Structure 1
Amino acid sequence: MSALRARLSAILLAACLLFTSQALLTPDRAAAADPGYLMTHFIGEGSNNQQIYFSYSTDGLKWTDLNGGGIALRSTVGTKGVRDPALVRSPDGSKYWIIATDLCISCGQSWSDAINNGSRNLVVWESTDLINWSQPWLLNVAGAIPDGRNAWAPEAIWDPASNDYVLYWATNVPLDGKTKHRIYYARTSDFRTTTTPQTYIERPGTQEIIDTQIVEMPTGVGNYRYVRASGDGQITLEGSNSILGTWTNLGNLSGIGLTGAQVEGPMWMKFRDRNEWALYLDQYSSGRGYMPVRTTNPSASGTYQMPASGSYDMGATKKRHGSILNLTAAEDSRVLARWSDIPAKRLQSYNFQDRYVRHANFDVRIDQNITNLDAQFRLRPGLAGSGTVSFESVNYPGYFLRHANNDFQLVRNDGTTQFAADATFRQVAGLADSTWSSFQSYNHPDRYIRHYAYQLRLDTITSATARGDATFRVTN
């Protein structure tokens, strides 16, 4: 944590809002600071853990959870869970995509279901800035594979030979009645349509392969332009000078005691300041998440070294199969400004102090005994103006409390000026008790957030009862 705290201290400006005793800081990047690394990953089983999470590192080895360790993006399509996310940047940096396995284990789907009759789709998000992301959509990649049973662990790499992306993933096509995952690929330019899938990697006999990730090599390092690491019973290394060309077996990591029975989810990272790479491997068999195995030549299996004790720190949450992006300075500034930690808060009713503001089926009310994420919000700088606040849901990131026709709903930010105004409020001294808070509408300053019959609404305040209804405590 110390590295990130030092970094944030160099890029944070003065507090723009005061929430009770909590200052909310708006970060601004120091021009001289080196950009860091962004990891996208999931953190475990269950509906909340199988979503998109972001983590950040200044050096590629010590990681801090972004967004307070909470969900960054939630899937609302398919199984409503995602694993194995890959973060893809376009060559010109104008677009980004996250592609992920449509899978939610322990939330209505078993491993047997997922292997033998799983989703044939991938889940995709798109962004132009790493900050504002589209609604997710489903991309059917395995439906055209004869007897294809699922679509797992997607990756994509830009192919300069054809000016599009090679999208690749694992699908189970049983052999002689037994499970056999192979890697398939298709071409795409927009992650909305693809060419007909083709077999990309198939191991002999009954041997399976599920996870594989390719890294491009700089000139002068090793004998191949591309190196891929795959989980196929070992962590097998292969090299090629063409993404869809012939690949040469370069050995595996058994020499340092690692096999595919111990680790999975290979994830490459190039250190920014030197010709050294970390191959992050998910220690799934022991339940410990990622660790970095380092090398100065990814194509030479004998150069890989296990990490020394204390040489890395994966942060507060377990990091599971994902990908790492080396950020530019502009990306770094945006990522830290948007996803740096803002603690989750609850809004306690003044005149019903056993009740808190919560969302349920996207409606907003005050309820008793609510301790789950439905009653937790991040008080972000107001979407419409300085000195204001907007309430972002913790378990539905990108969704904010918004008024419409004086009613409140939890609604996804559509980026419009109208949405920003409807979702922005001024925090003022509590109308019933100045030590508490009230929230004045930004675009209807004669009205305040209040509850009425336990429902949240936007109203003018003309009575003592209404003043109590419109008063809240911002609390942990």
Structure 2
Amino acid sequence: MFFRRVLQAITIGACASLSLANPIDLNELGLQPEKRADPSLVGYLGAIFLGADPYVYFYLSNGNDPLSFKSLNGGQPILRPTKGTGGVRDPYLVQGGGAEAGKKWYIIGTDLNIASTTWDAAQRTGSRGIFVWDTSDLTTFSGERLVEVEDASAGMVWAPEAIWDAAKGQYLVHWASKFYAASDTAHTGSPSNIRIRYAYTSDFKTFSAPQTYIDYAPTNIIDLDILPLDTAGKSYLRFMKDETAKTVFLEYTTGGLFGTWTRAGGSSGTITSGVEGPAAYRDNKDDAKVHVLLDFYGGDGYRPYESTDPEANQWAASARTAFPSNLRHGSILPINQTLYDSLSAKWSS
């Protein structure tokens, strides 16, 4: 199977001397893709929002358990935006790449406070920018900014995420937008389907002109989440929501970010329905296991799923005995001991 072939191709000793937290790009070190069961990774950090509270909340794993999390900062937000709509949804922890690997991270998110608007208005005349914060240690944040990434024909920018593209030497940032005719400046007419767009950046301040990454018209696609399986930039899983059918499905590739993608489980394969906001991460201790959180937005928020054969679309609901309820669309970042300790020291409840 695809996932097992990827794991078999990984050099077992490649990460023995690594001290970085979940490095993305090791090409500059001359290494082959590292074995993912990395002893330097001792836990997981989640950046989440909580339904009616569109701010950034942190959750830290209880030890190296991928399914057991505790709130940090006494359950209060880590970040509250001061710009745009005053609300940030879908917070995403961006792992530094290239020269920034292990030295810098970013948090990006959707500029949307639904309490001050409607879903229709948010898709017609919503924000065309993304929130960005910088951090060198995941405990202090600076440089809050709201950066416009879409053109005037777009109705909104939703669920931005970013991944280091080693082949390009920049971050690929992607999001979901729908569009209106150039003559429809007020966006009162019928829009296009929602598609995934992307741009490149080196600093999350200046972005290239946006382009279309995924367009499955007439299907509306939102909430793209890409999970790298190697550091060579070839093998990936990508999860996304079919907004029309209200399902999340998975695609895989061995051809890079712009290679040929295959839908897991065939053309109609889905993980489950009534969900959105997939947040995927690999297990720190089990090379063969992938986790994905799926947001049951009409119910109790995130529920965890796991698989050792994702390309066959074989998923099972994980045990939830220590997994919090009512967490919404966010992201999970595997972390090393230094980061785990500093997060615990600053924000433990």
Alignment TM-score, normalising by the size of structure 1: 0.58
User: Which one scores higher on RCO, CA 8 angstroms, separation ≥ 6?
Assistant: 2
CA contact (8 A) 2:264 2:310 kept: no
Verify: 1:42 aligned to 2:65, yes or no.
no
Q: How big is each residue's C-alpha offset from its partner over 1:105-149, in whole Å with a ceiling of 9 and x where there is no partner? A: 11x22212111100001010001111110041011111x2x5101
| Corresponding residue of 1:297 | 309
Verify: 1:280 aligned to 2:286, yes or no.
no
SS at match of 2:294: strand
In 2 relative to 1, CA 34–186 (structure 1 residues): closer, same or farther, beyond 3 Å? Answer: closer
Q: How big is each residue's C-alpha offset from its partner over 1:301-345, in whole Å with a ceiling of 9 and x where there is no partner? A: 1x211234xx44333x6210000010111111111111111xxxx
Q: How big is each residue's C-alpha offset from its partner over 1:196-248, in whole Å with a ceiling of 9 and x where there is no partner? A: 0000011122x1011110101149xxxx7011011013322111221123322
In 2 relative to 1, CA 56–138 (structure 1 residues): closer, same or farther, beyond 3 Å? Answer: same
| Corresponding residue of 1:250 | 264
The Cα of 1:297 is off from its aligned counterpart by 2.7
Q: How big is each residue's C-alpha offset from its partner over 1:352-385, in whole Å with a ceiling of 9 and x where there is no partner? A: xxxxxxxxxxxxxxxxxxxxxxxxxxxxxxxxxx
Verify: 1:100 aligned to 2:109, yes or no.
yes
The answer for unaligned runs of 5 or more in structure 1 is 1-31, 342-476
In structure 1, how many angstroms separate the alpha carbons of the residues matched to 2:40 and 2:172?
A: 34
Q: How does 1:147-186 map to 2 (within 5 A)?
A: 147-174=153-180, 177-178=190-191, 180-186=193-199
| Corresponding residue of 2:58 | 54
The Cα of 1:250 is off from its aligned counterpart by 2.1
CA contact (8 A) 1:83 1:101 kept: yes
In structure 1, how many angstroms separate the alpha carbons of the residues matched to 2:121 and 2:48?
A: 23
Verify: 1:84 aligned to 2:94, yes or no.
no
In structure 1, how many angstroms separate the alpha carbons of the residues matched to 2:160 and 2:291?
A: 20
The Cα of 1:270 is off from its aligned counterpart by 1.0
Residue correspondences, number:
292
| Corresponding residue of 1:269 | 281
Q: How big is each residue's C-alpha offset from its partner over 1:381-430, in whole Å with a ceiling of 9 and x where there is no partner? A: xxxxxxxxxxxxxxxxxxxxxxxxxxxxxxxxxxxxxxxxxxxxxxxxxx
The Cα of 1:289 is off from its aligned counterpart by 0.5
RMSD: 2.2
In 2 relative to 1, CA 339–168 (structure 1 residues): closer, same or farther, beyond 3 Å? Answer: same
| Corresponding residue of 2:12 | none
Larger radius of gyration: 1
In structure 2, how many angstroms separate the alpha carbons of the residues matched to 1:156 and 1:183?
A: 13
Verify: 1:225 aligned to 2:229, yes or no.
no
In structure 1, how many angstroms separate the alpha carbons of the residues matched to 2:209 and 2:303?
A: 36
Q: How does 1:75-474 map to 2 (within 5 A)?
A: 75-91=81-97, 92-106=101-115, 108-142=116-150, 144=151, 147-174=153-180, 177-178=190-191, 180-205=193-218, 207-218=219-230, 225-232=235-242, 233=245, 234-240=247-253, 241-251=255-265, 258-259=272-273, 262-275=274-287, 276-285=289-298, 287-301=299-313, 303-308=314-319, 311-315=320-324, 318-341=326-349
| Corresponding residue of 2:26 | none
In 2 relative to 1, CA 33–245 (structure 1 residues): closer, same or farther, beyond 3 Å? Answer: closer
| Aligned residue type for 1:159 | D
In structure 2, how many angstroms separate the alpha carbons of the residues matched to 1:295 and 1:252?
A: 17
In structure 2, how many angstroms separate the alpha carbons of the residues matched to 1:61 and 1:165?
A: 29
| Aligned residue type for 1:122 | I
Q: How big is each residue's C-alpha offset from its partner over 1:150-192, in whole Å with a ceiling of 9 and x where there is no partner? A: 1000010111101111000001114881452110000011110
CA contact (8 A) 2:249 2:270 kept: no
Q: Could you tell me the percent identity over the aligned residues?
A: 39
CA contact (8 A) 2:47 2:56 kept: yes
CA contact (8 A) 1:237 1:252 kept: no
In structure 1, how many angstroms separate the alpha carbons of the residues matched to 2:43 and 2:267?
A: 28
The Cα of 1:194 is off from its aligned counterpart by 0.6
In structure 2, how many angstroms separate the alpha carbons of the residues matched to 1:183 and 1:157?
A: 14
SS at match of 2:80: coil
Q: How big is each residue's C-alpha offset from its partner over 1:272-311, in whole Å with a ceiling of 9 and x where there is no partner? A: 00121111100012x211011100133221x211234xx4
| Aligned residue type for 2:241 | G
In structure 2, how many angstroms separate the alpha carbons of the residues matched to 1:179 and 1:208?
A: 9
In 2 relative to 1, CA 153–34 (structure 1 residues): closer, same or farther, beyond 3 Å? Answer: closer
In structure 2, how many angstroms separate the alpha carbons of the residues matched to 1:239 and 1:331?
A: 30
In 2 relative to 1, CA 327–257 (structure 1 residues): closer, same or farther, beyond 3 Å? Answer: closer
In structure 2, how many angstroms separate the alpha carbons of the residues matched to 1:34 and 1:123?
A: 28
In structure 2, how many angstroms separate the alpha carbons of the residues matched to 1:328 and 1:166?
A: 24
CA contact (8 A) 1:184 1:197 kept: yes
In structure 2, how many angstroms separate the alpha carbons of the residues matched to 1:253 and 1:331?
A: 41
The Cα of 1:258 is off from its aligned counterpart by 1.3
The answer for unaligned runs of 5 or more in structure 2 is 1-38, 182-188
In structure 1, how many angstroms separate the alpha carbons of the residues matched to 2:263 and 2:77?
A: 38
In 2 relative to 1, CA 269–253 (structure 1 residues): closer, same or farther, beyond 3 Å? Answer: farther
